[in-house]
Structure 1
């Protein structure tokens, strides 16, 4: 018995009268991590004293320990959540030890024969005792059906909550139920149309709702929460937070648009919607045109090593979601797909990548692929031990460009530790973060550029 969980379900179905269905007020708040908060307010029509109520269509994945139900003058005495659903296999399992009727139809003349059988087992198959013989029920081409006298009380056609309550008095009253459930989630998807000549992109954002909870939520007020709420893992241990934000070069400092709760952003859908069972639903939530953007070639190295062969540079689209760049909105985590128009003006898909929850004012870099004509090859020229805890590394990068136009390669060198510093360099660097240096390296058309630098770092 799950007392609180069943309370939640009880509130959902406390009005069995279809005439009152239009008065039901359902709100669903959906999180990114397969989690949703269901709030259900509806009228009750009870008699005085003890009574048993059954409520169908509650979420089959309800979390019983999270249920809360309140109704004036009503005391919950006991609740049971029946999630053993009626299926042919379940029906046969419940019939073990009982008698059923087996009806077979002769394919030749269409005559039916009926035998009474006792179900001995229903595990990987059904074993029957018919008279003095033991038989395995199988699909051998002979039309066969099994007739049961009744449906067991423990099997339900839909997830059902039964509740024993004590009502102080008869009459209508308002109940409010809330509970957490799995089986509801959402994700963001972005379509970016990039115009390289104009250094701009048009961005559309779509939200995809997914409902595998086992029930439908009709005409529900729906809002989405962007952010990672902390939850205990299935083994009841602490789940460490994720580190880093995919696609983000630097996090922003602008206040985003929209409503917040705690440190999360809320995205309410503009209209009530029905989230059907086993359904994916898409809703638009962002549209921006002319956002400043550029295509870049990136090379990222995490340590000071030589490469035996040239590596292709990464092709990425960089843009900012700052107000001055034409966007000014936080971006929920999701997948960003980039398109460009060909010579005929038709859009072509050129790549996709994931982004994390991104505050407004951030700088983003969306990897769309690898360059065919731009490469990099690193060489560790020397490694010198300066002291017990410090070393000096002399690096050389050969950047080649087989395109008929010049390009700029954004090179990122990681590996700096405590008190890391640049001792010499052929091109001015900038500090990206505590462990990373960056260079913007121009490479001429059909040519090459060599970048050299020496750094010291300790640990």
Structure 2
């Protein structure tokens, strides 16, 4: 039976190039690549087609080909890429020429290859060399040298067609993305500009030109097996393509504009248009039950992820940078933080570090421990040296079976070991909160 072999040749001698692919990129280093493919001038008889524009991190048991007007009968994946150090084993028993550094050539039959030594047999002797002393080795030409992994299919054309087209789908490592946010605060309006971006990395050896990109927030379940270790993989394909890996809970961000993702390049694109949002600024003073402190308070910003706040959008996990808009229109960096995944109608909580002119002091005024009880009186003072009033959250962690007595202001029990006091402190003044906790046990 007549066979025609059609080979797709890569465009670049160094990096292969993909056109018009769809890439779904995950945060854990993998991507699902959906590559449009076509072959021209095929015979109506059975044909063999070949494709070698593949990234080095391809998951070897993942590729499958879907064709519009042909059936795939057999798929073979040959990843026996030429590596000279590995191919030396194929020359055992063969005459080779070895040139040592600062020495003459030497010929003999190669009889042993290890990671550190080479051994040849000469007419009357055996000679072993350290490999780091070898300048070069001259061996006979190799047959069927393959420079890159190659997919090959045997197909049956359903009807006469000059062109066979379809999609090649596979998983590959070497791709990743991260969410980056910028939060530019305008203190005069109590609003901020919220910018959400994605940094997309291509660490593969393939240039993806005019690619459609989708970004997945979630972890891909990859169970690495032994199937990737063989040199050649052949699958008999009937009707069912290989199953995709299970994703679990995730959200897909589709990038509206096709773009080129060049090898070893990172591109940054907007996840959403820039938005003006409101926020709640709170100063935090957090302590354990026996702590005594005198330190600046932490500054936190709560951003409701709601449609009423011009958001109401899924926010993936990432780094957020905080900036302050000054009166002259310039901005200054004031801190950065990590935010978790924030679904719609949840609140993003971010910290910009310690305040310079808001100080907290916590003292234990009295402590009494008996055989079956413990009692402590606490005083917490917050001093505000700013020219505006502030909101403060006092977080107290108390462990065991406790009750609160004689609190100077209202508190909220958050859980079995945490209470919160919410207070306001006027400009250039201070405020003190006192309370007593008591524990009893049998």
Query: If the length of structure 1 is used for normalisation, what is the TM-score?
Result: 0.71
CA change 1:126–1:284 in 2 (3 A) is: farther
CA change 1:96–1:383 in 2 (3 A) is: farther
Task: Select the residue among 305, 316, 319 that pairs with 1:332.
Answer: 316
Q: What is the CA–CA distance in structure 1 between the aligned matches of 2:75 and 2:10, rounded to whole Å?
A: 25
Moved more, 51-60 or 122-131: 122-131
CA change 1:394–1:47 in 2 (3 A) is: farther
Q: What is the CA–CA distance in structure 1 between the aligned matches of 2:220 and 2:399, rounded to whole Å?
A: 32
Please say if 1:364 is aligned against 2:361: no
Q: What is the CA–CA distance in structure 1 between the aligned matches of 2:45 and 2:403, rounded to whole Å?
A: 79
Q: Please give the secondary structure, in 2, of the residue aligned with 1:138.
A: helix
Once the two structures are superposed, residues 35-68 of structure 1 have per-residue CA deviations (whole angstroms, 9 ceiling, x without a partner) of 3222123224444555544321223333344443
Q: CA deviation at 1:187?
A: 0.8
CA change 1:434–1:440 in 2 (3 A) is: same
CA change 1:61–1:392 in 2 (3 A) is: farther
Contact preservation (8 Å) 1:77, 1:166: no
Q: CA deviation at 1:170?
A: 6.5
Task: Identify the residue that residue 298 of structure 1 maps to in structure 2.
Answer: 284
Once the two structures are superposed, residues 76-118 of structure 1 have per-residue CA deviations (whole angstroms, 9 ceiling, x without a partner) of 3342240x54445445565555444445797xxxxx9654455
Q: What is the CA–CA distance in structure 2 between the aligned matches of 1:384 and 1:318, rounded to whole Å?
A: 39
Task: Identify the residue that residue 307 of structure 1 maps to in structure 2.
Answer: 291
Q: What is the CA–CA distance in structure 1 between the aligned matches of 2:105 and 2:192, rounded to whole Å?
A: 71
Q: CA deviation at 1:435?
A: 6.8
Task: Identify the residue that residue 71 of structure 2 maps to in structure 1.
Answer: 74
Contact preservation (8 Å) 1:183, 1:212: yes
Q: What is the CA–CA distance in structure 1 between the aligned matches of 2:211 and 2:142, rounded to whole Å?
A: 33
Ranges in structure 2 where 5+ consecutive residues have no aligned partner: 227-246
Q: CA deviation at 1:25?
A: 4.5
Contact preservation (8 Å) 2:400, 2:417: yes
Task: Identify the residue that residue 174 of structure 2 maps to in structure 1.
Answer: 183
Task: Identify the residue that residue 40 of structure 1 maps to in structure 2.
Answer: 35
Query: If the length of structure 2 is used for normalisation, what is the TM-score?
Result: 0.73
Q: How large is the RMSD of aligned CA atoms in angstroms?
A: 4.4
Q: What is the CA–CA distance in structure 1 between the aligned matches of 2:369 and 2:222, rounded to whole Å?
A: 47
Q: CA deviation at 1:410?
A: 1.4
Task: Select the residue among 260, 265, 273 that pairs with 2:259.
Answer: 273
CA change 1:135–1:384 in 2 (3 A) is: closer
Contact preservation (8 Å) 2:306, 2:346: yes
Contact preservation (8 Å) 1:221, 1:269: yes
Once the two structures are superposed, residues 220-277 of structure 1 have per-residue CA deviations (whole angstroms, 9 ceiling, x without a partner) of 2111123x246266599xxxxxxxxxxxxxxxxxxxxxxxx99643322222222223
Moved more, 439-448 or 277-286: 439-448
CA change 1:93–1:211 in 2 (3 A) is: farther
Task: Identify the residue that residue 385 of structure 2 maps to in structure 1.
Answer: 403
Q: Please give the secondary structure, in 2, of the residue aligned with 1:286.
A: coil
Task: Select the residue among 134, 150, 173 that pairs with 2:128.
Answer: 134
Ranges in structure 1 where 5+ consecutive residues have no aligned partner: 1-12, 107-111, 237-260
Q: What is the CA–CA distance in structure 1 between the aligned matches of 2:248 and 2:418, rounded to whole Å?
A: 33
Task: Identify the residue that residue 157 of structure 1 maps to in structure 2.
Answer: 147
Q: What is the CA–CA distance in structure 2 between the aligned matches of 1:414 and 1:116, rounded to whole Å?
A: 79
CA change 1:158–1:399 in 2 (3 A) is: farther
What pairs up with 1:367-406 in 2 under 5 angstroms? 367-373=351-357, 374-377=359-362, 379=364, 396-401=378-383, 403-405=385-387
Q: CA deviation at 1:189?
A: 0.6
What pairs up with 1:16-95 in 2 under 5 angstroms? 16=8, 25-45=20-40, 46-47=42-43, 52-71=48-67, 72-82=69-79, 84-87=80-83, 89-92=85-88, 95=91
Task: Select the residue among 185, 190, 198 that pairs with 1:207.
Answer: 198
CA change 1:218–1:94 in 2 (3 A) is: farther
Q: CA deviation at 1:296?
A: 2.6
Moved more, 333-342 or 72-81: 72-81
Contact preservation (8 Å) 1:421, 1:457: no
